[in-house]
Amino acid sequence: MRRAWSNIPFFYSSKDVGTRVSILIAARNEEQNIARTIDCLLAQEFPKSLFEIIVVDDHSTDRTSDIVSLYADRGVQLIRLNVGDTMNSYKKYAISQAIEKSHGEIIVTTDADCRMGPNWLKTIVQYFEEHQLYMVSSPVIYSEEKGFFEELQTLEFLYLIGLGAAGIGNGTPTTCNGANLAYRRDVFHEMGGFKGIDELASGDDELFLHKVAEKYADRIGFCKSLAAIVYTDAKPDLRSFISQRKRWASKSTKYKDKKVVFLGVVIWFFNLALITSLFYFLFQLPYCNWILLTAFALKITAEFQFMIPLTKFAERTSLLKFLPLLSIVHAFYIVYIGLAGNIGKYDWKGRNVN
């Protein structure tokens, strides 16, 4: 995986672009963030005639729609959903509705709490054009952390982004992030949109990636560029963090590629074995000590090797000092989330969903 990440070349935008783009945001109760995100999008160094911004308000109970409406004279379009409690996957429905109203050849999705630099859109679209791709995943990184817990999340999230990029670099795409994802409109329609994956609240990014990868794995790219980074916020507390990760984990058993499911199960059992060995250690069964220490040492060493180039790319190498602690905590987290994300419901922005 480290080799795959390293083999993805850095991309530098240098040419003009000529493809029409639609930027889509599904927003729910984002009055604290949406204006900042729209300001970043309107500041893009991109021909104004070639991109549009569509915000879909997903039944917000705050001032999200009012704030978006203030940008109407600058071309920002607002769609208000009004479907009540009739479905489980509101975000996929919101994106589908926005795509129906859009005119761009390339669909770019981001979230209502994101920030990006002025060359973000130009970089992604130029990467699309130069490599004649059907789908492009780009980096998402936490920033503006408030404390130790959020810094740990930043390091762990970099790990996830790196795994997604490495999978694409290996020609076996497995994961991406909808906060910075782009795909061709005609490919979206060719794949039948979100049909077949629309029963889950999550998966507008990862499960759709799998649909495209079934037919066009070689036409999916990762834009490895500082200019292409989208910045967002870590979760402020453990409860919101757990809720988010349960939502992400809920789609893992729906993967069509059973090799990926099998790998996930193996990783889950490996981490369960680490925890079991730790309890043996605490109950003073000495013959397990060398197994426990060797396993954790190998885990931490492998993760260091993978994370060094990722933290260099993100210019966050100072976070590596937290890796040994994160590696241990991560074992408990994986075992819990692996179970909790696939049983029962979880809370997502005030909704209980499956």
Q: What is residue 164's predicted lDDT score, i.e. its pLDDT?
A: 95
Cβ neighbours of residue 58 closer than 8 Å, sequence gap 6 or more: 26, 27, 28, 81, 90, 91, 94
Q: What is residue 339's predicted lDDT score, i.e. its pLDDT?
A: 87
Q: What is residue 260's predicted lDDT score, i.e. its pLDDT?
A: 80
Helix axes 289-314, 258-282, angle to 10 degrees: 130
- pTM for this prediction: 0.91
**∠ CA(140), CA(141), CA(142), 5° rounding?**
135
Largest interatomic CA distance in the chain: 71
**∠ CA(265), CA(251), CA(101), 5° rounding?**
155
Token pair of 302 as six digits:
């492998």
Cβ neighbours of residue 47 closer than 8 Å, sequence gap 6 or more: 17
Q: Name the CATH superfamily for 2-237.
A: Spore Coat Polysaccharide Biosynthesis Protein SpsA; Chain A (3.90.550.10)
**∠ CA(166), CA(172), CA(173), 5° rounding?**
70
pLDDT digits (tens, 9 = 90+) for 37-88: 999 999 999 999 999 999 999 999 999 999 999 999 999 999 999 886 666 6
Q: What is residue 253's predicted lDDT score, i.e. its pLDDT?
A: 65
pLDDT digits (tens, 9 = 90+) for 142-167: 999 999 999 999 999 999 999 999 99
pLDDT digits (tens, 9 = 90+) for 173-190: 999 999 999 999 999 999
Paired residues of 353 in beta bridges = 346
Measure the CA–CA gap between 106 and 104, rounded to whole angstroms: 5
Count of CB atoms situated within 10 Å of the CB of 284: 8
Domain boundaries, the chain: 2-237, 258-353
- Tell which residue, 99, 97, 87, 101, has the closest CA to residue 198: 87
Write the DSSP symbol of residue 52.
E
Q: What is residue 350's predicted lDDT score, i.e. its pLDDT?
A: 61
User: CA 287: distance to chain centroid?
Assistant: 42
Q: Mean pLDDT of residues grouped by 10 in the chain (354 residues)? A: 94 88 96 97 96 95 96 96 76 94 97 96 96 97 95 96 95 94 97 85 85 95 97 93 83 72 89 85 68 85 96 96 93 90 65 60
